[in-house]
């Protein structure tokens, strides 16, 4: 569907109670606001069916159905083939640590894993930790001029000992969308697997694991309008081969429960249905009447169009400053970026800038955002790192204009 209607921003903002507190929130890459319907479903579970699943009694069966609905919702959100391809975790960091632990029996000394310098540490640290088991870690660097990953560099890094490539869908500093489908093809052509950190992508575009042909993919729901919870997608056959992280009597065939030691949070899983319900309603309001997946895609088309507009509003201002270095693509409507915008101002401390913006009831962030290897590689760790303005679709033109006005006051011209 090609929706031509504009995003109903008034409806959107009504869905997020946290937006009514008098702050313009531009720290969404750190965590988005939660939907009221997600909170309501969390409460519904806790008040009406807060029991352990697996029992013979009706209330336990109701809880199991609610838990399963959470998996099914996430299956639809990423376009997985079946709900068993969805495992839950408390965060993306934990999800990827669990994945690395569960792959240990598949790896032996001398095997290779490729990481990128542009990833959040969540998709680097768990793999680097495997060096203690004799695994060789290689780093795929970005070009310092284009700030992009080059597929030919990946090809040169790969050997017949390469078992996995870990890569980010979007850098949480650069805001750059990596060509994951193309990367996956190179990886698979060389006989390896791919693991994608989609945290910084998931709030802005529709994830389609089938089209991407990725093996594993993780993202955090608290950055996609939900609670502090996370999803690990994996192809079913690959999940089945992973080591069991739960009790000894959970066999390899107990998918995905063997990847959720101690059980996942039932109420948080059920609350995730509110995310898909909201996106489907957005799609319906855009005129889409097809499947839930069709509605999700229509919603994200509207989200993208709106975010491009507000991102370009800020980037146009930043481009006009001769003392500003934008870290990433410089145009908001560039299809290779999301509205996560990082920059440095000559001879000014990023922390001081952010703190001055606080006084305007506008939230931004500064630092390296747990992508320290990238910040060090780009030499942007001095003076507090960089300022990051990370937008979501519920941000308005008026909020962006207020942010620009605040920058004009606090930055030396």
Give me the CATH number covering residue 405: 3.90.1150.10
Residues 108, 252: one domain?
yes
Residue found by looking up tokens 């609350």 in the block:
271
Give which of 328, 410, 412 is closest to 375, Cα–Cα: 328
Average model confidence (pLDDT) for the chain? Answer: 96
Give which of 66, 70, 62, 11 is closest to 286, Cα–Cα: 11
Whichever domain contains 205, its CATH number is 3.40.640.10
* pLDDT the model gives residue 132: 95
Residue 285 resides in a domain: no
Residues 385, 263: one domain?
no
Q: Please answer whether residues 124 and 153 qualify as being in contact, where contact means their C-beta atoms are separated by less than 8 angstroms.
A: no
Residues 371, 251: one domain?
no
Work out the average pLDDT over 282-289: 96
Give which of 77, 70, 398, 372 is closest to 224, Cα–Cα: 77
Residues 237, 331: one domain?
no
Residue 91 resides in a domain: yes
Cα-based torsion angle of the residue sequence 371, 377, 379, 384 in order, rounded to the nearest 10 degrees: 20
Residue 283 resides in a domain: no
Residues 211, 73: one domain?
yes
Strands 136-140 and 112-116 turn out to be parallel
Residue 139 resides in a domain: yes
pLDDT tens for residues 336-395?
999 999 999 999 999 999 999 999 999 999 999 999 999 999 999 999 999 999 999 999
Residue found by looking up tokens 């542009």 in the block:
118
Give me the helices (H) in 320-396, please: 350-358, 372-377
Residues 17, 115: one domain?
no
Residues 223, 340: one domain?
no
Residues 167, 189: one domain?
yes
Residues 353, 252: one domain?
no
Distance, in Å, from the CA atom of 236 to the CA atom of 114, rounded to the nearest integer, reads 23
Residue found by looking up tokens 């729901």 in the block:
221
**Number of independent structural domains in the chain:** 2
Residues 163, 76: one domain?
yes
Residues 376, 336: one domain?
yes
Longest CA–CA span in the chain (Å) reads 70
Work out the average pLDDT over 31-47: 98
- pLDDT band at 252, cuts 50/70/90? confident
Residue 354 resides in a domain: yes
- Report the predicted TM-score, pTM, of the whole model to 2 decimal places: 0.97
DSSP-assigned letter for residue 254: S
Range of the structural domain that residue 356 is part of: 9-34+304-410
Residues 223, 310: one domain?
no
- pLDDT band at 412, cuts 50/70/90? confident
Number of neighbours of residue 148 by Cβ within 10 angstroms: 17
DSSP-assigned letter for residue 360: T
Last residue of some domain: 276, 291, 321?
Answer: 276
pLDDT tens for residues 107-131?
999 999 999 999 999 999 999 999 9
Q: Please answer whether residues 126 and 232 qualify as being in contact, where contact means their C-beta atoms are separated by less than 8 angstroms.
A: no
Distance, in Å, from the CA atom of 328 to the CA atom of 325, rounded to the nearest integer, reads 9
């Amino acid at each position: 569907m090609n929706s031509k209607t504009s995003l109903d921003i008034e409806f959107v903002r009504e869905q997020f109670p946290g937006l009514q507190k008098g702050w313009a929130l531009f720290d969404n890459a750190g965590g988005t606001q939660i939907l009221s319907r997600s909170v309501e479903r969390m409460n519904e579970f806790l008040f009406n069916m807060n029991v352990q699943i697996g029992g013979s009694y009706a209330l336990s069966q109701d809880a199991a159905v609610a838990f399963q609905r959470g998996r099914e919702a996430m299956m639809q959100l990423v376009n997985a083939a079946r709900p068993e391809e969805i495992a839950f975790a408390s965060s993306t960091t934990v999800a990827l640590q669990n994945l690395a632990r569960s792959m240990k029996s598949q790896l032996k000394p001398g095997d290779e894993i490729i990481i990128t310098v542009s990833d959040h540490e969540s998709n680097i640290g768990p793999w680097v930790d495997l060096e203690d088991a004799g695994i060789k870690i290689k780093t795929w660097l970005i070009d310092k001029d284009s700030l992009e990953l080059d597929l030919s560099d990946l090809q040169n890094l790969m050997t017949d000992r390469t078992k996995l490539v870990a890569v980010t869908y979007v850098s949480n500093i650069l805001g750059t969308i990596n060509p994951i489908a193309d990367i996956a093809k190179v990886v698979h052509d060389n006989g390896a697997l791919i693991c994608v950190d989609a945290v910084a992508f998931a709030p802005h575009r529709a994830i389609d694991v089938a089209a991407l042909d990725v093996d594993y993919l993780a993202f955090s729901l608290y950055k996609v309008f939900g609670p502090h919870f996370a999803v690990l997608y994996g192809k079913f056959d690959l999940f089945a081969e992973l080591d069991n992280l739960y009790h000894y009597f959970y066999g390899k065939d107990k998918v995905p429960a063997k990847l959720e030691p101690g059980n996942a949070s039932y109420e948080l899983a059920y609350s995730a249905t509110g995310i898909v319900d909201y996106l489907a309603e957005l799609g319906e309001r855009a005129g889409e009447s097809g499947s839930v997946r069709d509605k999700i895609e229509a919603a994200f088309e509207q989200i993208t169009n709106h975010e491009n507009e507000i991102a370009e509003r800020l980037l146009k201002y930043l481009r006009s400053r001769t003392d500003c270095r934008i870290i990433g693509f410089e145009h908001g409507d560039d299809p290779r970026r999301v509205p996560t915008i990082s920059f440095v101002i000559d001879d000014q401390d990023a922390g001081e800038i952010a703190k001055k913006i606080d006084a305007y009831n506008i939230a931004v962030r500064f630092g390296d955002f747990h992508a320290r290897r990238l910040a060090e590689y780009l030499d942007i760790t001095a003076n507090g790192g960089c300022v990051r303005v990370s937008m979501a679709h519920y941000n308005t033109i008026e909020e962006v204009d207020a942010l620009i006005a605040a920058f004009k006051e606090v930055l030396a011209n």
